[in-house]
Structure 1
Amino acid sequence: MANLNPDLLEALRRAATDAANDGIKFYVNSGWRSPAYQNQLLREAVAKYGSEKEAARWVATAATSLHVKGEAVDIGHPDAAVWLSKNGAEYGLCQIYRNEPWHYELRPEAVDHGCPRMYADPTQDPRMRN
């Protein structure tokens, strides 16, 4: 959990504690990533999907990745992601992309107003444009 935004980490800890009370165990599959690792993931996605355009639906560049900035986590185990999709706004934790039910970011305003509308995938997110 090194290099994560402290507010994100605190929200995750609170959510994980409450999820555990419901019998759900959280696993953070991916938190902060180095730029080099993010670039490696992008190269692998290009090889897998056949183009940079298609890979961009799944993997951001190091310059735009919220993981590189310490502002995003990927939650493991489907039951944990389901729990967080139902309860995350209470902690300010929101799923951002419809195609990535594991990807969560801190949106403190969600506590009072609910999570923002999801993007279909990262290519629709204006933050992902260089």
Structure 2
Amino acid sequence: MNLEKGKTIFDKIKMPYDTLRKKENPIKPIVNYYKSKLKAGEELWWMDSENGNTASNIVIRIWNNLSQSEKQDIKNRSMIYFPELFGNRSDKFNRIAVWLATRQSIVSPNIRDLFTAGGKVDIIFSTKTYERVPRIF
């Protein structure tokens, strides 16, 4: 590759190739560089394997190709992990979208619909009826 001086990854991490290739963990300086460039709410996805920050699979899956039981399991966990889903903020689906891609290796082009489609239903719990609650509950 013909990159200008200062534009290679070796220039950016301030380490020559030969030094990098001899390191026990040569990817770490690169990961650290890209971590330093992240904005709030951004993650490195599968590159960042420290501290349990790994996707479940390097293969990306599409939501519609998951089994019904896997979809339900992910929706259940999402409601626990991301209580903002129950709020009114316009950005309430942002964190779950990142989590699905980075931790579950799943892309959902219509993530909002997973939690808002289906209309309203009455739910009976014990002797109490909750009327017109979102069907996702």
TM-score normalized by the length of structure 1: 0.24
In our comparison, the structure showing a higher alpha carbon Rg is 2
TM-score normalized by the length of structure 2: 0.24
Q: Which has the higher contact order (CA 8 A, sep 6+)?
A: 1
